[in-house]
Amino acid sequence: MEYCDSCRTVLNERLLLEEQLARLQNELEIVATQLKLLREENELLKSNIKVPNKQRRKNNRTKAELDQCQKEIQKLQVIIQHKDLIIQSQLNYRYGLSEEEGESLNIKNRVLWSLTCGVRFSCSIQQ
């Protein structure tokens, strides 16, 4: 069939538009796939960000608990030292020891106790 010039022009334009439409549909599918992948990656990144924050909060909580325990240990050590001084002064009084003799005996007892219990002993001797 033969078409007139204007019909052929319209048919050629239609063919070009159909080809362009097919190319655009292919590009749209590619872009839709890329968008889906980017959204999945974004969700994955969001979930990865949340985990370190939880871990950081847990670490901060653990550090705070550790600090509180260390403060409590220091308080108890002060109380124990105070009670040791009271006991030592009572022993000195009971056995009639001078302060130097009592302190010497106290150091020996602490060293023996630390060796028995496996605890590190440190003392400072004032002269």
Q: Are 94 and 88 in contact (CB under 8 A)?
A: no
> Per-residue pLDDT tens for 7-25?
888 888 999 999 999 999 9
Q: Are 105 and 97 in contact (CB under 8 A)?
A: yes
Provide the CA 84 distance to its chain's centre, in angstroms: 40
Residue 121's pLDDT band, with cuts at 50, 70 and 90, is: very low
Q: How far apart (Å, rounded) are the C-alpha atoms in residues 95 and 89?
A: 10
**Does pLDDT of 127 surpass 50?**
no
Q: How far apart (Å, rounded) are the C-alpha atoms in residues 19 and 38?
A: 29
What is the rounded average pLDDT of the residues 35-57?
Answer: 79
**Does pLDDT of 55 surpass 80?**
no
Q: Which tokens sit at 93? A: 């009084």
